[in-house]
Structure 1
Amino acid sequence: MLTIYGVYRSRASRNYWLAGELGLPFVSVPVMQARRVAEPYAADAPLNTTSPDFLSVNPTGLIPCIDDGGFVMTESLAINLYLARKHGGPLSGRTVTEEAEMLQWTMWAATEVEPHAVKIVLAFDTGIQDSEEGRSVIAKASEALARGFKRLDQHLAATGHVVGDRFTVADLNLAEVFRYAMGQPALFDAAPNVKAWLARCQARPAFKAMMETRSGELE
């Protein structure tokens, strides 16, 4: 049985979404980020990333991680590539070339897009988006993201998918990274193919189910 450690309001959302797409049964262990817990080290604190029980599974103290029949793995995007590869089907690569493309696009999103997009999310999460500091952070992040949006927009113009001619784990991984930038609609308006693609990804039943569970979690 697959066990996913992490609350839905975290990067674990990517793994919960993929599990839904694959129809995988799983156990969810809702480990919270320590920064969201008033006293994370208290004896009665909810399970969080500093809790000994969690650190015994993942000593890095980061979520998400999975335990797949004794195989423990971290890094949300890599976990998705692993699960797609293991269980096969249309979400996985049909050829070695497709698998390489999925890895390439995922690493690109993780290194070139997410570091900037997450700054937008954090600005809103911390409530500074309307302050001078917040506006500066968002403006710089948006400027840095424009190039990535343009690249993906041009790529999607051909087939509407990141890899091949269908929805795959590459689409899911990138959709979860680009979701972080949704607080800046101008980026999507300037990249209509990205905007339409993300809307299609988020219209999928497994995404909606994941988000419904996520919305039910405590802030």
Structure 2
Amino acid sequence: MLTIYGVHRSRASRNYWLAGELGLPFASVPVIQARRLDDPLAADASLNTRSPDFLAVNPTGLIPCIDDGGFVMTESLAINLYLARKHGGPLAGRTVTEEAEMLQWTMWAATEVEPHAVKIILALDTRVAESEQGRLAIRGAAKALKTSFQRLDAHLAATGHIVGDRFTVADLNLAEVFRYAMSEPQLFDAAPNVKAWLAACQARPAFKAMMAARLCEPE
């Protein structure tokens, strides 16, 4: 049985979405971020990333984390590549080349896109965006993302997908990274292929189910 540690309001959302796409049975252990608690080590504190019980599973103290029949793994995007590879089907690579492309695009998103996009979502989540400093940070992040949006837009012009001619784990991984920039519509208006692609990804039933569960969680 697959166990996913982490709440939907975290990067664990990526793993919950993929599990839904694959139709995998799984157990969910809602570990929250320690920063959300006044005293994460209090006796009555919710299970969090500093809780000894969670650290015994994942000493890095980060979510998400999975336990797949005794195999413990961290890093949300890598977890998705692993689960897709293990369970196969249309979301997985059909050839070694496709698998390499999925890894390439996922690494690109993690290194070139997410560091900027996450600044936007963090500013919004912490209400820093309401300050001048926050607005400057968001504008800077959006400016830094323009080149990445242009690159992906040109790539999607051919088939509308990241790898091959179908929705794969690569689409899911990148869609979850690009979701962080959705508060900046000018980026998507300037990249219509990216805008259409993300809308198609988020129209999938498994994404909608994940987001419904996310909305049920406290902020």
> TM-score by structure 1 length?
0.99
CA distance in 1, matches of 2:28, 2:128: 32
Name the aligned partner's letter for residue 114 of structure 1: E
1:81 aligned to 2:91? no
Matching of residues 5-154 of structure 1 within 5 Å: 5-154=5-154
| Cα distance in 2 between the residues matched to 1:37 and 1:3 | 24
Cα-to-partner distance string for 1:73-110 (whole Å, 9 max, x where unaligned) = 00000000000000000000000000000000000000
Return the letter of the residue paired with 1:113. V
Instruction: Say whether 1:181 aligns with 2:181.
Output: yes
Distance 1:167 1:136 in 2: 35
Q: CA deviation at 1:37?
A: 1.3
> Quick one: distance in 2 between partners of 1:131 and 1:45?
31
Letter in structure 1 aligned against 2:205? P
Alignment length (residue pairs): 219
Output the CA distance in 2 between the equivalents of 1:36 and 1:115.
21
Measure the CA separation in 2 of the matches of 1:85 and 1:28. 21
Distance in 2 separating the partners of 1:26 and 1:139: 39
Letter in 1 for 2:73: M
**Two-structure CA RMSD over aligned residues (Å):** 0.4
Instruction: Tell me the CA shift for residue 158 of structure 1.
Output: 0.3
Give me the whole-angstrom Cα distance separating, in 2, the residues matched to 1:164 and 1:187: 25
The letter for the 2-side match of 1:148 is: S
List runs of 5+ in structure 2 lacking aligned partners: none
Q: Determine the C-alpha separation between the residues in 1 that align with 2:194 and 2:159.
A: 12
Q: Secondary structure at the match of 2:57?
A: coil
1:38 to partner: Cα distance: 1.9
| Residue ranges of structure 1 left out of the alignment (5+ in a row) | none
TM-score when normalising by structure 2: 0.99
How far did 1:130 drift?
2.7
- Residue 122 of structure 1: how far off its partner (Å): 0.7
Q: Which residue of 2 aligns with 1:2?
A: 2
**Which runs of structure 2 are paired with 1:194-209 in the superposition (5 Å)?**
194-209=194-209
Q: Distance in 1 between matches of 2:73 and 2:122?
A: 26
Match of 1:190 in 2: 190
